[in-house]
Amino acid sequence: MRANPPAETSLHSLASTTKLQTARLLRRWSREPAVLIQSLVFPAFLLVVFQWVLGRTITLFSGSDSIYGQVPLIALLAGMFGTLTTGIALTAERDAGLLARFWVLPVHRASGLASRLLGEMVRTLASTVVMLGIGYLLGFRFQQGGWAAVGFVLIPVLLITGFATMVIAVAVVSSGKTVLELMSTVCLLMLFFNSGFVPTDEYPGWLQPVVRVQPMSPAIEAMRGLSEGGPVAVPVLQTLAWTVGLVAVFGWLAVRGYRRAAAE
Amino acid sequence: MTATNPGSQWRALSGRSVLGGIREGDLVFATFTPVVFFVCFYVPLQNMADTLGVNYAQYLLPVIVLQSMLFTGIAAGERSATDALGGMAVRLRALPVPRLIPMFARMSANLIRAVLSLIGGIAIGYLAGFRFHGGLGSIIGFVVIALLFAVAMSFGADALGSIATNREATGQMLMVPQLLFTMVSTGIVPAVGFPEWLQPFARNQPVSKVADALRGLASDTVDATTITIALAWILGMLVVFASAALHLATKER
Amino acid sequence: MTGTPAVLVEGLHKRFGDHVALSGVDFEVAPGTVLGLLGPNGAGKTTTVSILATLRRPDAGRALVAGHNVVDDAAAVRRSIMLTGQYAAVDELLTGRENLELFARLLGARKQEAAKRAADLLDEFDLADAADRRVGTYSGGMRRRIDIACGLVIKPAVVFLDEPTTGLDPRSRQHVWSLIGRLRDEGVTVLLTTQYLEEADVLSDRIVVIDHGAVVAEGTSAQLKQRTGGTHCEVVPVEPRLVPRAHELLADLHPSPLTPGADRFALPAPGGVATLGTVMSRLDAAGIDLADVALRRPSLDDVFLSLTGHAASGAEQSA
């Protein structure tokens, strides 16, 4: 067989090698029990239990159905926990020399990182749809039409690109695994302090600004607006700002770290 | 060489387990877990309880204490799985150490962990307004019931851990019942908050029943029936789990 | 490309912080030959290979692979090489077939071509039965085979095998050895790093010995052995108590000094078989029976010891 890949700097190469490596990652993740548990089983379990335990009480107090806060919250959480788990798997791929193996192939230099981001987006889309299905069984309904529903599932996909950029930047440094485990704990705490768990007004006054600006809350509010109804433009722009901010801060670190990790 | 003395063997092995817990940071974790979970539920939900005129710290703390006792059980499972899988259990069987000593040593370490969790939980509760309204007797009752619950859970998890094939999997597997019994209990919200079909379970499952007793003891409103039901659950589990653990510890393998 | 070396390395320098990994490495590999890069842990073998494979940039010096500069024209280098690491780096959650197809497609093959090539390689590498099992379930030897096979989905000009048999059982090692022989037969240039002297001895056309980041010797296996002092004759009497007497009888042939309690001694054998004959007839006449007498050529272990002043393995910390 002849070696005839497209020139590795070409856009054609970027598209084809990114697609192939994304397919590898998705195939791999679908076989990794930890990824399935963290991005599907555990969030689904939380969604059901939270709704059972807190659904009535929160609905009663806030006057709006709690499911429109819980489903967005859990969809985001599924994406984030999934990313943290694949981030930990990335540290193992680095240690095993797999990154080096792909680096020395004549593939586009950006395809390694691009395929990871694309993979995270596809995975998040899938887990969001699953959480929506469970939400449906618990009474969740789209009330703003089809386009709003499309917008709804794209919000976690948007936020996860920023979050995944940060996780990759962390995963490729040598102490990455420990930091990622710490980040998992922080994410677990964020689960309780956002506008989806209970409405922001329920938190003590001094904490409300923190709850309101943390990255999950604007995304939750945007998704609430796109399903139950309510403001959309401002929370979407805030989510976009968080995503752009995370990519701006961690993007360069991820690019540099990924290249270095391949050489180790 | 002195003759082997089960008492000093037990002390030596307990010391080993406790030291391991300190080194792995588990004892710090044990103290702070109830603090973190208390804050996570108390801060978002306290306002609603206030509206209803309920002191939420008083209401919530019992289930937080019991959750940390369940975590002690999970740690007990991992501890026993570590011994079983790391070869320590086999090694001790080959020494002139009575069969039950290693298990009792692990249980002492579990009890120490439970005491730390209890201290952490009561401390954060006090900061948020939890109080013992009864006399010394009800404080002692509270502590004894919480620790007995931890011991019962630890026996069960120790038995599971000793036949485990994977330490991490044992811990993760035990997280599921932990979450289910903690959340689907009347410890966080009262039974009326649950869907109707789930209310009987939420009301009658052991964590709810034991939490009722703890809450009653702390608030000095407890009646004999509540205590009896809680103790019946605990002693029942203690008998079943302890006999399983004793059986597995003495069995030829 | 006749005449131009397949790999050319000139004055390669690389340091990591305070640690000097390479301090001026030079060598060449002729097309279609196997070069053994030999050295203890931390000598700089892996650093050299990672520079040649475009994973790292040298601080100074120049390296060409298949005629392409590894710094200025890294993309062209990557089109010409394959790299196998010390640890078999393939996706353990994918099956052997999926891994092969993935690599083939990343190298530009169309879907059907990739499937065909994967099937051929699975047969060729004796992995057809395990083709649809995840690589994570493979034995060490099978893993190394699928790893090498993944590098051969497209025939590369130069193959880098970084300690390809480290940690393998003898049978799997034998298998990898025969693969390397086959690569050479197909005209592929191979750069093999190893800590095993035996491996370099058996497989390499030429050997480069590096230590502390610099080349300490270079040549064919025979040349390197020659440098250590050539052939000698080893004498082992049946009865150890007769060793001093035999030593005395052969004193004019300059035997090495006796080690107290040793059951044997050696002497230089510049005359080869003639020296052997002299030894045998003289001891026979004196009535000393021999358990063994033979001409010995120095092993690469001897070479290594004399070149670097320490034994081949376990002497250095990995960098």
Tell me the C-alpha to C-alpha distance, in Å, between residue B26 and each of B109, B153, C111: 11, 17, 52
Distance (Å) from the alpha carbon of A236 to chain C's nearest alpha carbon = 37
Other Cβ atoms within 10 Å of B57 Cβ, number = 20
Q: Which tokens sit at C297? A: 């050529």
Cβ contact (<8 Å) for A56 and B184?
A: no
Choose the mutation target among A45, A52, A190 for the interface with B, i.e. most B CBs under 10 Å. Answer: A52
Mean pLDDT of C259-288: 79
First to last CA, chain B: 30
Percent of chain C with pLDDT over 90: 33
Q: Which residue from A17, A24, A101 is facing C85, i.e. has the nearest CB?
A: A101
Chain A residues within 8 A of C155 when measuring between CB atoms? 1, 3
CB C151 within 8 A of CB C88: no
DSSP for residue C95? B
Q: Which residue from A1, A28, A262 is facing C55, i.e. has the nearest CB?
A: A262
Chain-centroid distance of CA A151 in Å reads 15
**Chains touching A by CB (3 or more pairs below 8 Å):** B, C
Chain C residue nearest residue A261, CA to CA: C55
pLDDT the model gives residue C317: 37
pLDDT the model gives residue C318: 37
* H or E element at residue B150: helix B136-162
Chain B residues within 8 A of A192 when measuring between CB atoms? 40-41, 43-44
Tens of pLDDT along C151-199? 888 888 999 988 888 878 888 888 888 888 888 888 899 999 988 878 8
Distance (Å) from the alpha carbon of C208 to chain A's nearest alpha carbon = 24
Chain A residues within 8 A of B47 when measuring between CB atoms? 201-204
Other Cβ atoms within 10 Å of A258 Cβ, number = 22
Mean pLDDT of B145-166: 92
Q: Which residue has the tokens 């790999």?
A: C7
Among C93, C103, C86, which residue's Cα sits nearest to residue C138?
A: C93
**Chains touching C by CB (3 or more pairs below 8 Å):** A
CB B41 within 8 A of CB B60: yes
Interface list for A 55-94 with B (CB within 8 A): 55-58, 61
Cβ contact (<8 Å) for C53 and A104?
A: yes
* H or E element at residue A25: helix A11-29
Distance (Å) from the alpha carbon of A84 to chain B's nearest alpha carbon = 17
Chain A residue nearest residue B185, CA to CA: A53
Cβ contact (<8 Å) for A5 and C103?
A: no
Cβ contact (<8 Å) for B40 and A189?
A: yes
Mean pLDDT of B130-134: 93
pLDDT the model gives residue C84: 81
Q: Which residue from A7, A24, A107 is facing C94, i.e. has the nearest CB?
A: A24
Among C237, C231, C240, C241, which residue's Cα sits nearest to residue C282?
A: C237
Give the separation between CA A78 and CA A75, rounded to whole angstroms: 5
Q: With cut-offs at 50, 70 and 90, classify the pLDDT of residue C314.
A: very low
Has residue C113 got a pLDDT over 50?
Answer: yes
pLDDT the model gives residue C229: 64
pTM of the model: 0.84
Give the separation between CA A208 and CA A201, rounded to whole angstroms: 7
Sign (positive or negative) of CA dihedral B18, B21, B23, B26: negative
Q: Which tokens sit at B96? A: 């002139």
Tens of pLDDT along A230-251? 999 999 999 999 999 999 999 9
Chain A residues within 8 A of B40 when measuring between CB atoms? 189, 191-193
A12 in contact with B, Cβ within 8 Å: no
Chain C residue nearest residue A24, CA to CA: C102
What is the ipTM for the molecules in this complex?
0.87
Residue A216's Cβ-count burial label (10 Å; 0-12, 13-18, 19+) is buried
3-state secondary structure of B124: helix
Q: Which residue from C54, C90, C94 is facing A104, i.e. has the nearest CB?
A: C54
pLDDT mean for each 10 residues of chain A (264 residues): 73 92 95 91 94 91 90 97 94 88 89 95 97 96 95 97 96 88 90 93 93 95 95 96 97 92 79
Give the separation between CA A99 and CA A92, rounded to whole angstroms: 10
Residue C7 vs residue C224, higher pLDDT: C7
Sheet with C189-194, strands from edge to edge, namely C81-84, C158-162, C189-194, C34-38, C206-211, C214-219
Give the separation between CA A108 and CA C303, rounded to whole angstroms: 44
Tens of pLDDT along B173-232? 888 889 999 999 999 999 999 999 999 999 999 999 999 999 999 999 989 999 999 999
| Angle between the N-to-C axes of helices A146-171 and A111-137, in degrees from 0 to 180, rounded to the nearest 10 | 130
Quote the longest CA-to-CA distance of chain B. 69
Q: With cut-offs at 50, 70 and 90, classify the pLDDT of residue C41.
A: confident
CB B83 within 8 A of CB B119: no
Q: With cut-offs at 50, 70 and 90, classify the pLDDT of residue B253.
A: low
Range with the poorest average pLDDT among A231-245, B1-15, C25-39, C50-64: B1-15
Has residue C311 got a pLDDT over 70?
Answer: no
| Angle between the N-to-C axes of helices A42-62 and A67-96, in degrees from 0 to 180, rounded to the nearest 10 | 150
pLDDT the model gives residue C319: 34
Q: Which residue has the tokens 């209803």?
A: B52
Cβ contact (<8 Å) for C106 and A8?
A: no
Percent of chain B with pLDDT over 70: 97
Has residue C2 got a pLDDT over 60?
Answer: no
* H or E element at residue C35: strand C34-38
pLDDT the model gives residue C315: 38
Indicate left, alpha or beta for C235 from its phi (over 0: left) and psi (-120 to 50: alpha).
beta
Give the separation between CA A116 and CA B15, rounded to whole angstroms: 47
Among A40, A161, A21, A41, which residue's Cα sits nearest to residue A93?
A: A21
Give the separation between CA A142 and CA A190, rounded to whole angstroms: 26
Residue B96's Cβ-count burial label (10 Å; 0-12, 13-18, 19+) is exposed
Residue B247's Cβ-count burial label (10 Å; 0-12, 13-18, 19+) is exposed
Q: Do the two chains A and B touch, given a threshold of 8 Å on CB pairs and at least 3 pairs?
A: yes
Residue C98 vs residue B84, higher pLDDT: C98
Cβ contact (<8 Å) for C55 and A100?
A: yes
